[in-house]
């Protein structure tokens, strides 16, 4: 296809595709899907080789969020039966992080539900960052705490944070339909504050909330303009007890096309498959590794994910390798640009949802993880509810049970 050849050429040159080209990727047929994956895979391998970065989420404070984000299991008025607990102590958070790091993760994403942190909350998180870094040399830490006030990004950077995650989630035109307690502009401002403070900015989207192709292209082009180092792509987990519980709009093929479009528009950034990959990609997850160069290991904020060992086996079987702590995530031309991230000194930052948050299925702070333990995949049909793949997290942070990593 001439379209794909053009997009590969542009991706290798870091040239922005036209909106029409991006929309055309989303409109390709299932018959052309493998060609689309192969083309976007060339761009992914050019900038990131066959490395896969592993990230691990720690939910510092779960539930009881005053914001009304429709996709979130921790939202105001949510009836989802999730874990609810207040702030983990620094040693508890460090212990939780250790499980993910032992499983191969190089970045820990510290997430807390809520509109945004108080100054005392920033102190708490700063103590947690210190505890984690004191015990794990070279680890990257990304914070995801919601909307930032003036000076808070700088304080997190001084405390040792490498990155900050805050997702745009959806297009500016439809944002008011998803959330009313804060604005799209508020989210953009927080990403800009993180950038200005020298933190590696992480910002992404949630697909599957009933948006149009045009909405998806709008938000990805907005992300390209914001220029984060990391773009997490979340697939909505329609949690029972939330307003979007009936929104089962995705198929594995649709998810792959979305990831390919993101890779073409943002060719040289860390594209992370975040919340919902187990639920919506299912047995097609290995193909997604040809498009994204980063995933979360194990469980998410309020939902269970694929077993950590299964993630590692999947990466190896697909012919990829786990990125080491001594490897720089971002390409050389980006590695020195944002907050020191990407340098060997910071273990090669460049992620961001990295920090889990901002995912798309639950987790406050605009996050939304993925839910569900992988099971037998049914025929991929948009509109078919796969509630059997959505499982509330009952282990790890906030419980007495060992985490999944």
Q: Check: CB of residue 207 under 8 Å from CB of residue 171.
A: no
d(CA 57, CA 79): 23
Closest CA to 147 of 170, 174, 181: 181
Q: Which of 34, 405, 16, 338 lies closest to 164 in space, CA to CA?
A: 338
* Neighbour tally for 379: CB within 10 Å: 6
Q: How far apart are CA 135 and CA 100, in angstroms?
A: 13
Enumerate the β-bridge partners of residue 234.
206
**Active-site residue among 107, 124, 272, 282?**
272
> 349 a known binding residue?
no
**Among residues 45, 44, 40, 47, which one has the least CA distance to residue 3?**
40
Residues in CB range of 153: below 8 A, 6 or more apart: 164, 193, 194, 196, 197, 199
Whether 357 has a binding-site annotation, put simply, is no
- The active-site residue out of 44, 51, 157, 202 is 202
Q: What is the DSSP letter of 149?
A: P
Select which of 107, 109, 187, 393 is catalytic.
109
CB 108 within 8 A of CB 326: no
Residue-by-residue DSSP string for 181-208: SS-HHHHHHHHHHHHHTTPEEE--EEE-
State the pairing for strand pair 270-273/294-296.
Answer: parallel
Give backbone dihedrals phi and psi of 85, rounded to 5 degrees, phi first. -160, 155
272 is catalytic: yes
255 is catalytic: no
Any binding-site annotation on 266?
Answer: no
Neighbours of 300 (CB within 10 A): 32
250 is written with which tokens? 């995705």
Q: Is 155 annotated as a binding residue?
A: no
Active-site choice (65, 266, 341, 374): 65
Catalytic residue among 44, 51, 72, 334: 72
Please give the full DSSP string across 79-97, using - where no structure is assigned.
------B-PPPHHHHHHHH
Catalytic residue status for 282: no
142 is catalytic: yes
Query: Is the C-alpha dihedral spanning 373, 377, 378, 379 positive or negative?
Result: positive
Known catalytic membership, residue 72: yes
Q: Where in the sequence numbering do the catalytic residues fall?
A: 65, 69, 72, 109, 142, 202, 272
Task: Pick out the residues of the known binding site.
Answer: 65, 69, 72, 109, 142, 202, 272
Task: Pick out the residues of the known binding site for [4Fe-4S] cluster.
Answer: 65, 69, 72
Task: Pick out the residues of the known binding site for [2Fe-2S] cluster.
Answer: 109, 142, 202, 272
């Amino acid at each position: 296809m001439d379209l794909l050849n053009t997009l590969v050429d542009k991706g290798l040159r870091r040239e922005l595709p036209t909106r029409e080209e991006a929309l055309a990727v989303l409109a390709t047929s299932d018959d052309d899907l493998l060609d689309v994956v192969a083309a976007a895979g060339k761009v992914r391998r050019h900038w990131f080789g066959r490395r896969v970065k592993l990230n691990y989420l720690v939910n510092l404070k779960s539930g009881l969020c005053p914001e009304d984000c429709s996709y979130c299991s921790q939202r105001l008025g949510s009836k989802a039966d999730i874990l609810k607990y207040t702030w983990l102590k620094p040693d508890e958070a460090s212990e939780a992080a250790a499980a993910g790091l032992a499983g191969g993760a190089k970045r820990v994403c510290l997430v807390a539900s809520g509109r945004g942190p108080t100054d005392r909350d920033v102190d708490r998180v700063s103590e947690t960052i210190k505890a984690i870094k004191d015990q794990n040399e070279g680890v990257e830490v990304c914070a995801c705490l919601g909307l930032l006030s003036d000076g808070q990004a700088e304080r997190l950077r001084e405390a040792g944070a490498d990155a900050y995650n805050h997702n745009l989630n959806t297009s500016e035109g439809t944002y008011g339909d998803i959330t009313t307690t804060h604005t799209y502009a508020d989210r953009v401002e927080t990403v800009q504050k993180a950038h200005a403070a020298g933190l590696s900015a992480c910002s992404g989207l949630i697909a599957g909330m009933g948006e149009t192709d045009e909405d998806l292209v709008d938000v990805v082009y907005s992300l390209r303009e914001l220029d984060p180092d990391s773009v997490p792509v979340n697939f909505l987990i329609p949690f029972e007890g939330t307003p979007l519980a009936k929104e089962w709009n995705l198929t594995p093929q649709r998810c792959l096309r979305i990831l390919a479009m993101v890779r073409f528009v943002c060719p040289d950034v860390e594209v992370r498959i975040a919340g919902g990959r187990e639920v919506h990609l299912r047995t097609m997850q290995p193909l997604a590794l040809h498009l994204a160069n980063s995933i979360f290991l194990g469980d998410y904020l309020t939902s269970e994910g694929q077993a950590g060992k299964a993630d590692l086996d999947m990466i190896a079987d697909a012919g990829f390798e786990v990125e080491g702590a001594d490897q720089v995530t971002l390409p050389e031309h980006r590695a020195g640009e944002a907050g020191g991230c990407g340098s060997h000194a910071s273990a090669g930052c460049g992620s961001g949802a990295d920090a889990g948050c901002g995912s798309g299925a639950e987790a406050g702070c605009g996050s939304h993880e993925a839910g569900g333990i992988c099971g037998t995949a049914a025929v991929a049909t948009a509109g078919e509810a796969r509630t059997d793949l959505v499982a509330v997290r009952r282990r790890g942070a906030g419980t007495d049970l060992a985490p999944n990593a």
